Amino acid sequence: MAVRRDIRFVVEDAGEVSAILLRPQNAESLLVLAHGAGAGMTHPFMESLATELAAVRVATLRFQFPYMEQKRRIPDRPPVLTATILAAAQTAAKAAPDLPLFAGGKSLGGRMTSLAAAQQKLPDVGGLVFYGFPLHPPNQPGTKRAEHLRDIKQPMLFFQGTRDPFADLKLLRPICASLRARATLHVIETADHSFHVLKSSGRTDADVLQELARTTSAWTQKLSRS
């Protein structure tokens, strides 16, 4: 059973935002989980992922970026987003000081977490998890958004679908290879950017969520024990 706790914390120069801490009784790690550009921390994907992670002993702290908290449609500028991630990580560390700390998120949330890490703003975070890294806009393949990844010191886990229009695997695979042992790429066959899979795959979206959670748990446990 997991215990849910509603939290609020302050982001410098951007006001107060909401967060949800979901901690299973047997938690072995804590993941700061940022939402994507178009949907907040209570989106069904975020809710379901947090539930599945709790089932495999990973606690989560989900939170709102200021623009989402204030019901604005356009995301904040990167300095505000990275400041929010920093504040969320500090809040998580205080809420569960006994758990190894990790950070990441869905799409934009993951990319901004990587940017914060590249700027050395997350020194206490042991690894980064990206659920659909938005390498480029749809139909505009490029690698500029990945240039900062080489400045990240922590290990990184990339989850990417083969039908994701935001990340051409022909571009992402060599990027991960160039990061060597710091990067692990976990490909989900037939999954799109939201991790929906084709019926022809013989799998369901629920199956994929469980795979995301189990793989995340195994990866964080390995890092925590190394």
Domain count, the chain: 1
Tell me what pLDDT residue 87 has: 98
Distances (CA, A) of 173 to 138, 147, 178, 207: 17, 14, 9, 24
Tell me what pLDDT residue 225 has: 85
Tell me what pLDDT residue 8 has: 97
Tell me what pLDDT residue 171 has: 98
Tokens linked to 30: 């804590």
Alpha helices in 35-107 (DSSP H): 44-55, 66-69, 78-95
Tell me what pLDDT residue 120 has: 94
What is the residue type of 127?
Answer: G
pLDDT one-digit tens code per residue, 79-129: 999 999 999 999 999 999 999 999 999 999 999 999 999 999 999 999 999
Tell me what pLDDT residue 1 has: 83
CATH assignment of the domain containing 149: 3.40.50.1820
On whether the pTM is more than 0.95, the answer is yes
Tell me what pLDDT residue 50 has: 98
Tokens linked to 8: 């609020």
Tell me what pLDDT residue 226 has: 75
- Per the listing, tokens 């929906």 go with 196
What is the distance between the alpha carbons of residues 65 and 79, in angstroms, rounded to a whole number?
A: 12
Tell me what pLDDT residue 103 has: 98
Domain with 47 in it: 2-225
Low-confidence ranges of the chain (pLDDT < 70): none
Alpha helices in the chain (DSSP H): 44-55, 66-69, 78-95, 108-118, 169-178, 205-225
